[in-house]
A and B are shown apart, each in its own frame.
Chain A
Amino acid sequence: AQSVTQLGSHVSVSEGALVLLRCNYSSSVPPYLFWYVQYPNQGLQLLLKYTSAATLVKGINGFEAEFKKSETSFHLTKPSAHMSDAAEYFCAVSRMDSSYKLIFGSGTRLLVRP
């Protein structure tokens, strides 16, 4: 079975600072990996996805993530935080086989200080 662990339920950064949100996964087969963002009272919006092509994936709003198989990680980064980045971020995993089951981590709330 696959699973996702997001380290840190809350991350606080200053505006303009580096954003780093951590995600580690467990999967018995090669995974697909995703990052989603959720603003208050809204659904989840896809930021980026890894599907076995390039290990460094670029997404919307200046975010990117790097797939590291040796570390079973898929951390999300952004060089410079904006106030509008304040939201909850979810990492998710599914399997590269017929058992397509999309499982989410517990989420990390990003706070951006002025």
Chain B
Amino acid sequence: DAGVIQSPRHEVTEMGQEVTLRCKPISGHDYLFWYRQTMMRGLELLIYFNNNVPIDDSGMPEDRFSAKMPNASFSTLKIQPSEPRDSAVYFCASSSRQGGAAFFGQGTRLTVV
């Protein structure tokens, strides 16, 4: 298995632009998580899905952030419009069942200038 695949690995964009981060979870996993990692705030859970349905989006910082999971093999995290304070590493992770360990992708390093 190739593991959790995230794209792009690096993204540099200008303030105000739309940014879309992509994630392909491990096949057969039914939970998908989006995290944001910064020096100041550590690892924050933004949103998670179970069987493609958003379960808890209480960590999404603002309405500028949205996430979708149209099918079991693909999810997106979109920021529109982007701001410099959104600069962070965004991780996607997936898990096979309740209580199972989450497996992480390599992350997308987002820089908003």
Contacts and interface: CB of A to CB of B under 8 A. Distances in A.
Interface string A5-46: 000000000000000000000000000101010000011111
Contacts of B104: 36, 43-45
Contacts, number: 53
Contacts of A63: none
B105 A104 contact: no
Interface residues on A, range: 20 to 34
A101 B48 contact: yes
Contacts of B105: 43
Contact of A43 (B45, B98, B99, B107): B107
In the A-B complex, list the 3 residue pairs whose CB atoms are closest, starting with the nearest: A43-B104, A104-B43, A44-B104
Interface of A: 32, 34, 36, 42-46, 49, 51, 90, 94, 96, 98-107
A101 B43 CA distance: 13
